[in-house]
Amino acid sequence: MSYYQNTGVSNRKQQQYGGTYGQQGTYGGANSHAQQGAAFYNNPSAASAPVPAAAPTTWQPTPAPHSGNQINLGGSTNTDSGNSMNSMNAAPNSGGGGAQPGPTVQQSQQPEQPQLWNPANINSMMKNDMVMNMAYDGGKAFLANGAARMIPGLELLMVTLRYYFAVDNSYVLHKMQRVLFPFLKKDWKRLEAEGHGNVKYALPRFDENAPDLYIPFMSLVTYVLLCALLFGSKGQFTPEALPEITTRCFVTQILEVLAIRLGHYVMQVPCSLLDMFCFTGYKYMGLCVNMLVGLFFGYWPYYGTMTWTASATAFFMLRTMANNVPRITATNGPKREVMVMVFAASQALTMWWLSQTKLLSE
């Protein structure tokens, strides 16, 4: 006989208390708590006995009507105006009244960005022969059809300059030896190529006596950088040093070429201005050698080296002009031999003028 039966509590009261106690559980464990409450009021000593758990139930709220959004709550699907929201299925909870998980909104994935040009792939592009050929053809077509029409004479200039840059490693090596050690060379006549009408000469890579602009240009750049290195080693470098040295070299060479052109004019012989820029530009190679010696050994070794390089450059100019100036000149003009000697002496004079020796240590 239970405790409430002894005190006069009716079965209806027992069921009410038991039901009330059981209603405090969650949705998934309501029946189990109801059984435990009834057993406690009927028999307090048997309250600790295990009660078999009831089958869990899943909470499924009643979906509210929407206008088109797609909402997934516990497996149910509704539609809303185009947005998509998914929630996890509610897990059964067999003990305690926990908070119910709210719906989780899944944001739409951003569209993948298109793959743009990567500068790191430039090496693979340069190694592709097809890409290089296309770039070459495009540049050639641009010069032929685009810029050549807008700038008169540009195409002719590019074709002319192409001859003076047709060099290779073998030519550069032999040309440097000929400029710095001209006393050892015997043959100074240029090779003639097959041509119709005017005389045409072989390309520089086939004839080491041919003039080129590659060595003078690179020698000029190297000499300007060496002068800047000298100024920096003495703590007197300024950004204005580079344009000042470059301008001085350019102005000096232009005046020198004009003087040589005037000498050809009074002798009434033809003269190529580009050839004169080539021949007068080889002195920058000697200036580079002088500056290197001055940087490492000082003032007096600089002038010792300059004596050699100036003599070599003057002799190179003498032999070159002797084979390029025609032997027949104007009868009432200056003598050919005198003008050739003046052209050669001008190389030594301009090398002294362009020297940067004021900062060399003695």
**pLDDT class of 109 with cuts at 50, 70, 90:** low
Per DSSP, the three-state class of 211 is: coil
DSSP 208: T
Report the chain's mean pLDDT, rounded to a whole number: 74
Q: Rounded CA gap, 97 and 100, in Å?
A: 9
**Two tokens at 154?**
């540009």
Q: In this predicted structure, what is the pLDDT of residue 278?
A: 96
- CB burial readout 120-152, b (16+ within 10 A) else e: eeeeeeeeeeeeeeeeeeeeeeebeeeebeeee
**pLDDT class of 119 with cuts at 50, 70, 90:** low
pLDDT at 322 over 50: yes
pTM of the model: 0.60
**pLDDT class of 350 with cuts at 50, 70, 90:** very high
Q: In this predicted structure, what is the pLDDT of residue 331?
A: 81
Q: Domain ranges in the chain?
A: 122-152, 169-359
Percent of the chain with pLDDT over 70: 58
The residue written with tokens 């050699």 in the block is 308
pLDDT at 40 over 80: no
Q: Are 192 and 199 in contact (CB under 8 A)?
A: yes
Q: What mean pLDDT comes out for the span 339-355?
A: 94
Interhelix angle for 283-297 vs 169-180, to 10°? 70
Which residues contact residue 249 at a Cβ distance below 8 angstroms, ignoring those fewer than 6 apart?
A: 220, 223, 224, 284, 354
Residue 301: CB atoms within 10 A of its CB come to 14
Q: Which of 93-97, 118-122, 161-165 has the lowest mean pLDDT?
A: 93-97
Segment 61-95, tens digit of pLDDT: 555 554 444 444 444 444 444 444 444 444 444 44
